[in-house]
Amino acid sequence: MLSFSTCWNSGRHQDGEAMVEEILEMGVDTIEISHGLKVSLLPGIKKAYRAGMMKVSGVHNFCPSPVELMIDAPDAYEFTSHRKNERERALSLTLKTIELAAEFQSKYVVLHLGSVPMKSRSKTLTDMVIGGGLNSRKFVKGKIAMIKEREGLGRLYLGRAREALARIAEHAEKFQVPVAVESRSHYEQVPSEREMAALMAEVAGPWVGYWHDFGHVQLKANLSLLDHYEWLDSMKQWLIGCHLHDVIWPEKDHRVPFQGTVDFDRLLPLVPVEKPIVWELSHRRKKEDILGALPIWKQKYAAWVDGGRDDE
């Protein structure tokens, strides 16, 4: 099922209905209501939904954006924080997001779980790759050091995330909206791939699953931290849906499909056709580029555009 994230255009609209109409005009009738959405846009979105203008595939936590934040900051509050009040704020906002998703009969809520407080070694490794140092001795040494540090710190922060997820899952069941833990773009974030696989084996079920972000996983593949195909193949049993965007080598993500190096021809067959595939593009992407890519996508991957639709 093809869907389109409001993260692309919510920031430039004052009326939610107009925001929805802009997406509809591009030929997509299903949206994901994303983080960063101003609460003032909700009345217009609800009006459009009640009028049957569009469907809502899902909602991305936190939604709407916390009123105290002046910018889009989905990681402003983390379940992994050492501050209890921040963890509680993250939980409270998440429960409200689930309730909002239920209003739109959404199929999921996408979650970020948090991060480990450590020096951002991912950026250092990326800079080496840009400079032609991929798999050099210095690169490999830095990558091993990052993995060792991250593994040494992970247990405490994953424990906090797991505790929050247990409470979130109860709310998800109450409101009949599954929650999907998203693959993150940096190794310092939670969960790592090892942690994600273990977490899904432990807690996945009707109300908790995995959310695959093609761009985020490709960023890690570009640092030789994983094989994109093998990772998705290992996680598809728990898959709820996907964020779709391309990556211009090695680190420029949230690009329009077919502008970068993500091998969709090889990867997409791993995704069941009924799963939501959400175009999640930066607000900087040009409408004409999107309009150029959408027809190609619909033609090449028609099964994933129409699969799982309920047009009754």
pLDDT tens digits, one per residue of 230-242 = 999 999 999 999 9
pLDDT given for residue 312 in this prediction: 42
Top CATH class, 2-117+155-306: alpha beta
Mean of the pLDDT values across residues 99-128? Answer: 97
Exposed, middle or buried by CB within 10 Å (0-12, 13-18, 19+), for 199?
Answer: buried
Tell me the three state secondary structure of residue 220. helix
Q: Where are the domains of the chain?
A: 2-117+155-306
Dihedral over alpha carbons 222, 225, 230, 233 (to 10 degrees)? -100
Q: At what angle do helices 193-203 and 228-235 cross, to 10 degrees?
A: 10
Class of residue 161 by CB neighbours under 10 A (exposed 0-12, middle 13-18, buried 19+)? buried
Q: 105: phi > 0 → left, psi -120 to 50 → alpha, else beta; which?
A: left
- At residue 70, the pLDDT reads 80
Quick one: angle between helices 228-235 and 214-222, nearest 10?
A: 140
Q: How confident is the model at residue 306 (pLDDT cuts 50, 70, 90)?
A: confident
Say what the pLDDT of residue 40 is.
98
Please say whether the beta carbons of 8 and 22 come within 8 A: no
Q: What is the pLDDT of residue 45?
A: 99
pLDDT (0 to 100) of residue 307: 82
Across 20-36, average pLDDT = 98
pLDDT surpasses 90 at 310: no
Residues 6+ apart with CB under 8 A from 267: 214, 228, 229, 232
* pLDDT tens, residue by residue, 50-76: 999 999 999 999 999 999 988 899 999
Question: Long-range contacts for 230-238 (Cβ within 8 Å, ≥24 apart)?
Answer: 231/193, 232/267, 232/270, 232/271, 233/270, 234/197, 235/196, 235/197, 235/200, 235/210, 236/270, 236/271, 236/272, 238/200, 238/204, 238/209, 238/210
Q: Report pLDDT digits (tens) over 244-300.
A: 999 999 999 999 999 999 999 999 999 999 999 999 999 999 999 999 999 999 999
* pLDDT for the residue numbered 228: 99
3-state secondary structure of 172: helix
Residue 149: what pLDDT?
Answer: 97
Q: What is the pLDDT of residue 114?
A: 98
| pLDDT above 70 as % of the chain | 98
Token pair of 50 as six digits: 């009640």
Q: What mean pLDDT, rounded, does the chain reach? A: 97
Residue positions counted in the chain:
312
Instruction: Flag whether pLDDT at 193 surpasses 90.
Output: yes
Across the range 165-183, mean pLDDT stands at 99
- Return the amino acid letter for 65: S
Task: Read off the pLDDT of each residue in 170-175 and give the average, rounded to a whole number.
Answer: 99
Residue 153 tokens read as: 């710190």
- Examine the pLDDT at 243 and tell me if it is beyond 90: yes
Are 58 and 107 contacting, i.e. CB atoms less than 8 angstroms apart?
A: yes
Q: Tell me the average pLDDT across 92-106.
A: 99
| Residue % of the chain over a pLDDT of 90 | 97
User: Mean pLDDT lowest for which of 65-69, 126-130, 158-162, 187-191?
Assistant: 65-69
